[in-house]
Amino acid sequence: MNAPVLTPGGRIDESRAIKPVRVAVLTVSDTRDEESDTSGHVLAERIAGAGHDLVGKTIVPDEVTAIRAQVNAWIDAGQVEAIITTGGTGITGRDVTPEALEPLFDKKIDGFSVVFHLVSYQSVGLSTLQSRATAGIIRGVFVFCLPGSNGAVKDGWDKVISAQLDSRHGPCNMVELMPRLLET
């Protein structure tokens, strides 16, 4: 039997099979196209490399209606269990991802922002203050909103999201909660 792989605050039990999560990646940008969307590509590669199913990947402009329309389309189709956005979480006038998605959250995952900023601080120091990374649940789907830089995407996936979307992570993970997200 393999020894568990330790992660910050937990462990991965490699003796168990991973349950693939259906994940979509949304890049929010006025300037990137498929070729220049490096952060979207980083996420897509890491999602697939972790054994999950990449069920969608697209780019929309920094516009509230465009962001909401794509997220709602994926959720309405019923083929996605998690959505990860990259971009639009900064503090400039065109950064509107939190404004687009937080009003749709049935529940906000406050701890995500806290933990993201803790790990981001290790990489970029006080510059992490310029991010409004956020997460929540929309109609039973986890939504994680990351900044648009490659470094932020790597920190967000590698050090926060990947372990929580790994069904083998203990002492608990978000995958085991998925069947109960729509309970009343």
- Mean pLDDT for the stretch of residues 94-120: 97
CB 170 within 8 A of CB 10: yes
Reported as a single tens digit per residue, the pLDDT across 3-60 is 455 556 688 888 899 999 999 999 999 999 999 999 999 999 999 999 999 999 999 9
CATH of 20-178, one of 1.10.760.10, 3.40.30.120, 3.40.980.10, 3.40.50.740: 3.40.980.10
Using the predicted structure, report yes or no on whether residue 176 has a pLDDT greater than 70: yes
- The domain ranges of the chain are 20-178
Give the pLDDT band (50/70/90) at residue 1: very low
CA gap 46, 19 in Å, rounded? 16
